[in-house]
Structure formats: structure tokens, C-alpha cells
Structure 1
């Protein structure tokens, strides 16, 4: 019985020690955050996270980043089932009435059936080029 009581006491002591360490770390983090916030420059009553911010430089950085983000996305194949035997878009319906020119859905589904990426599609490709992709 004495061994069981010793185990419970040591377990309780470890739990209290862990809780004390967690509270200490949390207090240090709050103290460091408060010191950093009070040392930050003020703009309109609100602290700026990076000190003085240049809106023009931020805009240039954002527009320069758009191409790097959208570039790989525009190169992805839109239809994952393209060029497979189970592609539901690999079908075309066509008709011809009298002497009129035949009409078919192949022109619409062909880019997706071929496995083109977004930048290769007729209308979407022009938009992705504007984004820098």
C-alpha cells in the first residue's frame, strides 16, 4: 500500500511541476508580447507589426508574388481523367440538318479531353496570362 501511495504522490507532483512550467512559459510569452507591442511605432493609435510600412513596396511585392503563385496552378491539368478510357468528357454529339454546316460539341470538350492546363484553354488562358501565369 505504501508503494501505491508513493506512486500517486509522485504522479501528482509531476503533474503540478508540468503545470507550473506551462504557466511560466505562458507568462513569459505574454510579457514578451506586451513589451514588443509597447515598443512598436504607432500609426493612428494602432501599432504597426513591422515598424514603418511602405504601401508602395508592399503593393509591388504582392504583384510580383502573384505570378509565382498562379504559375504552377495554371500548369496543372484540369481534367484528371483526360487521356484515359473512363473520361466522361471524351464524347461528342454532332448533327447536321439539310445543307447546313454540321454542329458538334467536340469543339467545347476537346481542350479538356486532351488534358490541357488552364493556361491552354481558349478564354481562361488569356486571363491567366494577365495574372502572370
Structure 2
């Protein structure tokens, strides 16, 4: 048999690897505060409702904390600088109709507006927590 076709011996026995993974998983569970005891599980409906409302409140608070920076982040990195291309506006007027220009759409972004400040998207973002 050629030397490259021979099976290579394992350096660490499989049982030792399994034991190491088991100990690592147990350590991770303890470090994460894994306190799943039978007395913590609610047994009546009042405890279940309290647990559900606490879970809903925690999810809403964490989701609000995660979405707040997204909603308030300045979208245009060049806003309020002399090189911002969105400060240049183009407008036109046909006959006696009202004039139409790009400042209505780009004005909010040129002033450093966030997602919540945009004309059409802003009211929708008020539904989200944060």
C-alpha cells in the first residue's frame, strides 16, 4: 500500500474529544446562567399570563433598543457639508401649474434627516418600537 493511501492515525482519541465537547457545553450553559429548574415553570394560568407579558415586554424593549439607532441614523453622510450633491435642486413650472422641484424629496436628506424624518417612510416607522 502506498504511504499516501494509508489511514492516518488520529492524534486525539474520539472519546476524549466527546468528553471535551461535553464539558465545554456544560461550561457554556453555566456561564449563560442556565437555571432551568422544575419550580420555575409556571403551572397555573395566572403565572403563564405573567410570564407571557414579561416576555412580551422584554422583547419590545430589546427590539426598541435595536431599532432606535436605525430609525435615527443620519442617512446622508455628506449632509451639512459643502460637497453635498443633494443640496442642489432642480425645479420647473409648466404653464400656470404649481412649480415642481427636487427639493421636496431631497431637502430632508440634505439637512441630515434620518429614516423617521422622510416624508413617506417616517409615519410608517412610528409603528415600530424605539
* Equivalent residue number for residue 59 of structure 2: 62
Please state if 1:129 is matched with 2:126: yes
Query: How high is the TM-score relative to the length of structure 1?
Result: 0.57
* Equivalent residue number for residue 23 of structure 2: 28
Bigger Rg over Cα: 1
How many residues are treated as equivalent by the alignment?
103
Cα RMSD after superposing both structures: 3.3
Q: Give 5+ residue unaligned stretches, structure 2.
A: 1-10, 31-35, 43-47
* Equivalent residue number for residue 106 of structure 2: 109
* Equivalent residue number for residue 92 of structure 2: 95
Residue deviations 1:53-78, cap 9 Å, x none?
94443223212222222122222111
* Equivalent residue number for residue 83 of structure 2: 86
Q: Give 5+ residue unaligned stretches, structure 1.
A: 1-15, 42-49
Residues in 2 aligned to 1:27 and 1:64: alpha-carbon distance in whole angstroms:
34
The structure in which a higher percent of residues are helix is 1
Query: How high is the TM-score relative to the length of structure 2?
Result: 0.58
